Structure 1
Amino acid sequence: VYLRRNTLISLKVTKKFERERERERERERERERERERERERERERERERERD
């Protein structure tokens, strides 16, 4: 019984960590998209300057 309880607990902890990592990756992707949009805006400004 003791061993099984430990296994369950460690499984829960593992799941928790996996969810944490998943959220971390999500945030990372979000930042990546943000940077991408930022670069896009920069290019737009460059084009605007070139037109003038």
Structure 2
Amino acid sequence: MVKENMSKAQKLTFSAMIMALYIVVLYFTQSFSFGAYQIRIATSLYGLSYLFP
């Protein structure tokens, strides 16, 4: 899907899906994401917000 060909509704929908995916991944990895040594897998989804604002 090319960013220039997406309507505003499609961009909003895609952004909402990424945020939902972020919440699901964060929920399932919270046991080792918030300890003394933090491994945050969900944070890797931040790059998608740059590509698809």
| TM tier relative to shorter chain | 0.3 to 0.5
- Larger relative helix fraction: 1
Higher relative contact order (CA 8 A, sep 6+): 2
Asked which structure has the greater CA Rg, the reply is 1
